[in-house]
């Protein structure tokens, strides 16, 4: 059973960027690491249901923004019926990995699912609103004030990474890998270190 690194953060905080950096550091340490996203399974089902371009919904471009509110509403309705639906779909293809990074947790139910079923490290990516705006963020009513963006604002995370202009991420990434290494040592897990 993999260790799960569950990452959250506001839009344009750099979740994907930090996920990739964390993955690179862990791979360099010879861990078998997979990355999965809760939103990918949601977007796939949403695209099928509405005849949309799945690949375009995965991008950070304007196509996704056209459908963001509708996807959020549709996803909320699906989660009301089964809160672990998209979490299960996200991790299902990565079970052979030692470590799975879930790059886009947005709700308490996401963390509840992973914490109940896996050894989980929760990480919050934070940045200033000014940095977010420089990355293209603009407040959208019904999106940025919805649970998908605000549901974890007061959650107590295991680690917080500050992804801001002028901040060196290397020390913060070392904290992540040290924590993962301690968990592995504590659990005496066989890790694929060749």
SS (H, E, C) the chain: CCEEEEEEECCCCCHHHHHHHHHHHHHHCCCCEEEECHHHHHHHHHHHHHCCCHHHHCCCCHHHHHHHHHHHHHHHHHHHHCCCHHHHHHHHHHCCCCEEEECCCCCHHHHHHHHHHCEEEEEEEECCHHHHHHCCCCCCCCCCCCHHHHCCCCCCCCEEEECCCCCCCHHHHHHHHHHHHHHHHHHCCCCCCC
Q: Is 93 annotated as a binding residue?
A: no
Q: Is 12 annotated as a binding residue?
A: yes
| pLDDT tens digit sequence for 67-91 | 988 998 898 899 999 999 999 989 9
Q: Is 174 annotated as a binding residue?
A: no
Residue 174 scores a pLDDT above 80 = yes
pTM to 2 decimal places: 0.85
Among the ranges given (40-44, 108-112, 123-127, 157-161), the one the predictor scored with the smallest mean pLDDT: 40-44
Q: Is 163 annotated as a binding residue?
A: yes
Q: Is 135 annotated as a binding residue?
A: yes
Q: What is the CATH number of domain 3-187?
A: 3.40.50.300
Going by pLDDT thresholds of 50, 70 and 90, the confidence category of residue 65 is confident
């Amino acid at each position: 059973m993999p260790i799960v690194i569950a990452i959250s953060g506001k839009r344009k905080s750099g979740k994907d960027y930090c996920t990739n950096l964390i993955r690179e550091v862990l791979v360099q340490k010879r861990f078998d690491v997979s990355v999965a996203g809760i939103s990918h399974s949601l977007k796939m089902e949403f695209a099928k249901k509405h005849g949309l371009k799945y690949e375009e919904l995965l991008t950070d471009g304007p196509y996704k923004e056209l459908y963001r509110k509708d996807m959020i509403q549709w996803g909320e309705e699906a989660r009301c019926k089964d809160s672990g639906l998209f979490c299960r779909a996200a991790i299902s293809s990565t079970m052979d990995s030692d470590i799975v990074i879930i790059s886009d947790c947005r709700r308490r139910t996401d963390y509840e699912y992973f914490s109940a079923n896996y050894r989980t490290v929760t990480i919050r990516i934070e940045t200033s609103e000014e940095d977010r705006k420089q990355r293209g963020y603009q407040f959208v009513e019904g999106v940025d004030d919805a649970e998908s963006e605000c549901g974890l604002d007061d959650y107590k995370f295991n680690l917080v990474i500050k992804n801001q202009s002028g901040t060196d991420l290397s020390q913060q990434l070392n904290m992540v890998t040290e924590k993962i290494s301690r968990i592995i040592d504590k659990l005496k897990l066989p890790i694929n270190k060749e």
